[in-house]
Amino acid sequence: MKTHLSFSSPSEVETDCLVVIALDRGEKDKPNVSLQSDDGNLKSAAADVLANGETTGKIFETTLLHAPAKMKAKRLLIVGGGKEKSFSAYDLRRVAGAAVRTLKSKSIRAIALVVPRVLASEEAVKASVEGAFVGNFDPDVYKSDRKDQKIESFTIIASGDQDKLQGAMNQGQVIGESQNFTRVLVNEPSNRMTPTMLADRAKKMCSEVGLQCEVYGAEKIRELKMGAFWSVAQGSDEPPALIIMKYEPAGAPEKPVLGLVGKGITFDTGGISIKPADGMEKMKYDMAGGAAMIGAMRAIALLKPKMKVIGIVCATENMPSGKAQKPGDVQIAMSGKSIEIINTDAEGRLVLADGLYYARQLGCTHLIDAATLTGACVVALGYVNAGIFANDDKMYARFEDALNKAGEKMWRLPLDDEYKESIRSNIADIVNSGGRWGGAVTAAMFLKEFAEDTPWLHLDIAGTAWMEDNKPWIAKGPSGIAVRSLVQFVQDFSS
């Protein structure tokens, strides 16, 4: 999708459809709907639907008008944004996505959106573009009768400093494209996204944007003594891949160095502790944390913050076979810690354990990992918030600020020392599963053993990496969560 910036009056813009947002500035029982534009011709074209109550301003409500008078646009789409007093960039992203999804289904290919007045122009431009890209993605790539319905041209109508607004639009496009790149990776079925294929996609992306990239196979993984990672990989006929992406911009300080570590289980059967058949097809998404790190590294390379970042993805399948590890086995991680395997379906923390330790060996001073790690996190937080765990309050505060700017929802969960009792082993140092109660927390406690004192955040995105239903602003399927927040975190940290 090509993006454009316009400073014309909305009624003077030639486009297949002009989009304007309607907000309700009234009280609870007295709606007072107004358009987010000062253009008199635009207000006149919408006057009747506002006056007769057809347009109420309710969020995601759409009203489509054809051949609006005194306007060069062929159509006018009014999209509700909810209450004006609470309207934010978070809402604008979703409203822009809803507009794109509404119009592309009508075979419209070029649209223009009027930036709402109630938000700062730069913030609004960036959020609009991000939301539009998210709304433009659909997962139906393998349907033989697929109709390629996409918005091809998206124009933002704004006012203000042209250079700053152009910069905001460019940032929004890079981040939106990178989030969709992540979604493309997660969307692929496991026979078309093996660990080797994921590594090839990462290498190609790194070549395109100027990142260093190295990919190691089974021999190197064993040479590095990554016993936790290898214990998962040994059960599959597909070779594993250790993907290392490095961003080292000229002029960046030696420290800090951020390590982004992603779980890349391209298919998770559960191993010997096999999962139920119902819903197992979705387990192609178990590499969403790794895909998020690949997408974030793409955006970071293009936006060029002055901070060193290393992305690490531990990619493998988790399969049952005669070679697979078994409950009761003891594995030795790269750090030297011994791990008793209680449940082979608790495999994500095993690959991350070696990924986190390896990131520290490469010189990372701060760590963030992302993983579709536990069903327990979904039980705790549902499909709305991802879980965050942190061993450093200062780093968490930085990330929380980035979350608020990026418009992604995550909720901090505890890491009290008492939880460590649940992962103690009688035969080894720790077990890989602390049991049913507090499962998301005990999984994080396991990972903390490998981050140790390095400032670290763990993002459990199990409930948010996959949209269970179609929403007005986003299609059912992969969400690309964490990309926006990770990029914002790096941009803020570098400055």
Question: Active-site residues: which are they?
Answer: 275, 349
- Report the distance separating Cα 66 and Cα 142, nearest Å: 34
Tokens 């750090």 appear where?
A: 335
Long-range contacts of 279-284 (CB under 8 A, 24+ apart): 282/466, 283/190, 284/186, 284/188, 284/189, 284/190, 284/193
3-state SS assignment for residue 263: strand
Find, among 406, 393, 417, 415, the residue nearest to 487 by Cα.
406
CB 115 within 8 A of CB 90: no
- Report the distance separating Cα 221 and Cα 226, nearest Å: 6
Find, among 235, 239, 197, 189, the residue nearest to 219 by Cα.
239
Find, among 260, 263, 298, 297, the residue nearest to 283 by Cα.
263
CB 94 within 8 A of CB 131: yes
What phi, psi does 223 have (nearest 5°)?
Answer: -60, -35
DSSP state of 117: T
